[in-house]
Chain A
């Protein structure tokens, strides 16, 4: 029972981290139609900048400065790269971000080398916040939860209470009409891209110390954030939040509880072939939920796309 609570917290941390990435991506994707493959690369840049700055100012300086730098870099990419490619259509845009992701990984290796850098948790947060049945919850995780929630509330405020937020919301629902209203759409795009990448940067700064800061960190996260926004539904910040949490919890629980395919198959009335290691179906029979935990989101996405292409909360088709 206590374990369930612990898992809920763990899943929440994972989910909120995903949310910080998917929130920016869903804004970018639904407004500009750009499947930004490099989004996770900006997350990586956030972690590396955070690390570099933390060498001089400590962790907190990195937390403030790194996302700003990442956001500016993102806006620059939009202004001098994407905008140029935009005229050719969506596929070239996508290839552009694809190539950008490759390039950013190479640049990171060029500057910081190929090994994991020792980017650590700040001293003040190196204690156990509380324990549940022998499972310690580090203070840093609590801190991550607070940061993520604060960012979510901030986003919510900007989107629903400010003028720029209104424009963005209008652009989410009716991408083509905003220009007609006389707004400077290129500027809005650049701003949204910069803000979205800055969010990814924040995620990188706070995730880097716990999940490791290494050149492959973007690839590990890579496509899962697309899955999140597709499941959540385009243009829906709430959808992104719910989908992130859902994925966080599904993967956490699938890892925590050893559900075995054999049990399921037996329950369905199949007979276990004996001896199992000679059977052509042995791999199916021996599958357990931790083995497939991290591919469950992909299954979910395919099913959702087949049966409900607009996603859980989307207002329009993907």
Chain B
């Protein structure tokens, strides 16, 4: 039995017992090793920059999912807690007398405290109820704080933000954090620490009651818990970790701006978390990886990245509301039955053409876009490492043909896949 990290452990049974705690630690040890060797695999600075960005977003997304996934509170303004934590950190970095004696790795703690302080203030009135009231208050607060960021220049620095220099802190065992790689390890450490703490939090009485209140606030009241306070504490803890993410942002980018507070950032984290899957602890992590790649890497390839991202979200929400994590966890029963192997071939037969179909459709979209918007005379376009004339007939024929054939193959393979899926999820010798 694998120790999957879920927020609603549906089959924990024996795992609680002493011996199995070893299994519980294994994923974390693997994650730590993975984080350590990652820069060795991808040594370039830009890769590390993207990994830093991912790690920061992961902490933020996990904090957000404490609220949405575990506490059932939908927030449209969670960026402000990360932002305020980050602003607190850049201001600290600018306080020479203090920062000179503060080793940089401890800074995110203060970011967390900053985010937490704001969460305590806002949470004191916003967590009285969940649902739409909470959501709309969060939207209003988010909008207000974002608007304040350009008005209150003293703290938020107006449009150009507040910048600082991380290397002015006290060297930490001789490390001055001059290089991206050093910063990477700092962030990776905090990512791991925060993730472990957040995971453990979901295993505490508070964490369990957060789930209980999410599912049934009234019942929780009759178990001795005030659902309001349970929500409040979840909210504050989530604010703390969002603030930690803000502190990491301050360290990595050495600047915070209005962008860290605005509704776009808040909306993005909602999408990231949902894309990954709110029902599972590791969902936001997957969501972050996918979204960052779409945003940073795909946007280098095509202007239409936003269009594809939008399609991806719609497809996810319509067909896989459990997000990517939900999609992965769908395979748990098959794996437990030991029949997951039977899915591999049908998957290949179905998804390889499906992959080409997606590429084909994307190619057609890109070609239409090119014909419509490229400058006159610029008739050649590059796609998938090919350069051709978008106004000639042949590329269109090729693209349409590839797409059509791929779609047909996918359709033909689908029934077999469905049958294989049913088979893999049926225990041997009897119906479920």
A–B touch (CB < 8 A): the answer is yes
Checking B131, B133, B313 against A102 with a beta-carbon cut-off of 8 angstroms, the contacting residue is B313
Fill in one digit per residue for B272-304: 1 if any A CB lies within 8 Å of its CB, else 0: 001000100000000000000000000000001
Checking B140, B313, B321 against A88 with a beta-carbon cut-off of 8 angstroms, the contacting residue is B321
CB nearest to B134 among chain A residues: A305
Alpha-carbon separation in the docked complex, A88 to B311 (Å) = 19
CB nearest to A300 among chain B residues: B140
Residues of B within 8 A of A107 (CB): 307
Asked whether B304 lies within 8 Å of A110 as measured between CB atoms, the reply is yes
Which B293-344 residues have a C-beta within 8 angstroms of A?
304, 306-307, 309-311, 313-314, 317-318, 321
B136 within 8 Å of A (CB atoms): yes
B65 to chain A, nearest CB (A): 12
A77 to chain B, nearest CB (A): 10
Residues of A within 8 A of B43 (CB): none
A-B contact count (CB 8 A): 110
Asked whether A92 lies within 8 Å of B141 as measured between CB atoms, the reply is no
Asked whether B267 lies within 8 Å of A299 as measured between CB atoms, the reply is no
Checking B136, B263, B317 against A92 with a beta-carbon cut-off of 8 angstroms, the contacting residue is B317
A232 to chain B, nearest CB (A): 13
Alpha-carbon separation in the docked complex, A106 to B373 (Å) = 14
B151 within 8 Å of A (CB atoms): yes
Asked whether A299 lies within 8 Å of B144 as measured between CB atoms, the reply is yes
Residues of A within 8 A of B310 (CB): 99-100, 102-103, 106
Asked whether A95 lies within 8 Å of B270 as measured between CB atoms, the reply is yes
A172 to chain B, nearest CB (A): 15
A283 within 8 Å of B (CB atoms): yes
Count residues of chain A with CB under 8 A from any CB of chain B: 43
Residues of A within 8 A of B129 (CB): 309, 317
Residues of B within 8 A of A98 (CB): 267, 270-271, 313
A282 within 8 Å of B (CB atoms): yes
Alpha-carbon separation in the docked complex, A292 to B143 (Å) = 12
Asked whether A280 lies within 8 Å of B154 as measured between CB atoms, the reply is yes
Asked whether B321 lies within 8 Å of A106 as measured between CB atoms, the reply is no
Asked whether A99 lies within 8 Å of B304 as measured between CB atoms, the reply is no
Residues of A within 8 A of B68 (CB): 91
Asked whether B152 lies within 8 Å of A230 as measured between CB atoms, the reply is no
Count residues of chain B with CB under 8 A from any CB of chain A: 41
Alpha-carbon separation in the docked complex, A299 to B314 (Å) = 32
Residues of A within 8 A of B309 (CB): 102
B129 to chain A, nearest CB (A): 7
Checking A226, A283, A292 against B136 with a beta-carbon cut-off of 8 angstroms, the contacting residue is A226
Which B366-383 residues have a C-beta within 8 angstroms of A?
369, 372-373
CB nearest to B139 among chain A residues: A223
Contacts A99-B271, A291-B151; A305 near B137 (Cβ below 8 A) = yes
Asked whether B137 lies within 8 Å of A302 as measured between CB atoms, the reply is yes
CB nearest to A282 among chain B residues: B154
CB nearest to B76 among chain A residues: A223
A85 within 8 Å of B (CB atoms): yes
A318 within 8 Å of B (CB atoms): yes
Checking B74, B147, B151, B369 against A110 with a beta-carbon cut-off of 8 angstroms, the contacting residue is B369
A113 within 8 Å of B (CB atoms): yes
Asked whether A287 lies within 8 Å of B313 as measured between CB atoms, the reply is no
A183 to chain B, nearest CB (A): 25
Fill in one digit per residue for A274-310: 1 if any B CB lies within 8 Å of its CB, else 0: 0000001111100100011011001101100110010
A227 within 8 Å of B (CB atoms): yes
Asked whether A96 lies within 8 Å of B318 as measured between CB atoms, the reply is yes
Asked whether B274 lies within 8 Å of A95 as measured between CB atoms, the reply is yes
Checking B139, B147, B270, B318 against A85 with a beta-carbon cut-off of 8 angstroms, the contacting residue is B318
Fill in one digit per residue for A139-176: 1 if any B CB lies within 8 Å of its CB, else 0: 00000000000000000000000000000000000000
B405 within 8 Å of A (CB atoms): no
Asked whether A92 lies within 8 Å of B306 as measured between CB atoms, the reply is no
CB nearest to A303 among chain B residues: B140
Alpha-carbon separation in the docked complex, A38 to B267 (Å) = 13
Fill in one digit per residue for B146-161: 1 if any A CB lies within 8 Å of its CB, else 0: 0100011110000000
Alpha-carbon separation in the docked complex, A254 to B287 (Å) = 42
Asked whether A305 lies within 8 Å of B154 as measured between CB atoms, the reply is no
Alpha-carbon separation in the docked complex, A103 to B365 (Å) = 14
Residues of B within 8 A of A284 (CB): 152
Asked whether B317 lies within 8 Å of A96 as measured between CB atoms, the reply is yes
Alpha-carbon separation in the docked complex, A287 to B68 (Å) = 35
Which A65-117 residues have a C-beta within 8 angstroms of B?
81, 84-85, 88, 91-92, 94-96, 98-100, 102-103, 105-107, 110, 113
Asked whether A230 lies within 8 Å of B154 as measured between CB atoms, the reply is no
Contacts A91-B68, A103-B311, A298-B140; A283 near B152 (Cβ below 8 A) = yes
A288 to chain B, nearest CB (A): 10
Checking B132, B143, B311, B317 against A223 with a beta-carbon cut-off of 8 angstroms, the contacting residue is B143
Residues of A within 8 A of B314 (CB): 81, 96, 99-100, 103
Asked whether B140 lies within 8 Å of A227 as measured between CB atoms, the reply is yes
Residues of B within 8 A of A318 (CB): 131-133, 136
B135 within 8 Å of A (CB atoms): yes
Alpha-carbon separation in the docked complex, A100 to B314 (Å) = 7
A246 within 8 Å of B (CB atoms): no
B125 within 8 Å of A (CB atoms): yes
Alpha-carbon separation in the docked complex, A106 to B133 (Å) = 30
A35 within 8 Å of B (CB atoms): yes
Residues of B within 8 A of A227 (CB): 136, 139-140
Q: Which of B74, B140, B144 has the most CB of A within 10 A?
A: B140
Asked whether A85 lies within 8 Å of B307 as measured between CB atoms, the reply is no
Residues of B within 8 A of A306 (CB): 125, 137
Contacts A95-B270, A106-B306, A317-B133; A283 near B140 (Cβ below 8 A) = no
Residues of A within 8 A of B136 (CB): 226-227, 230, 301, 305, 318
Residues of A within 8 A of B369 (CB): 110
Alpha-carbon separation in the docked complex, A107 to B311 (Å) = 11
Residue positions of B touching A, CB distance < 8 A = 68, 74, 76, 125, 129, 131-133, 135-137, 139-141, 143-144, 147, 151-154, 263, 267, 270-271, 274, 278, 304, 306-307, 309-311, 313-314, 317-318, 321, 369, 372-373
5 A-B pairs with least C-beta separation: A103-B310, A99-B313, A106-B307, A88-B321, A302-B140
Given A91-B274, A301-B140, A318-B133, 7 further pairs, Cβ under 8 A: A99-B317, A103-B314, A106-B310, A230-B136, A281-B154, A299-B144, A301-B136
Provide a sorted-by-A list of 21 A–B residue pairs whose CB atoms are within 8 angstroms.
A35-B135, A81-B314, A85-B318, A88-B321, A92-B317, A96-B317, A99-B313, A100-B314, A103-B313, A107-B307, A110-B304, A226-B136, A282-B154, A283-B152, A284-B152, A294-B147, A295-B143, A295-B144, A298-B139, A302-B137, A305-B137
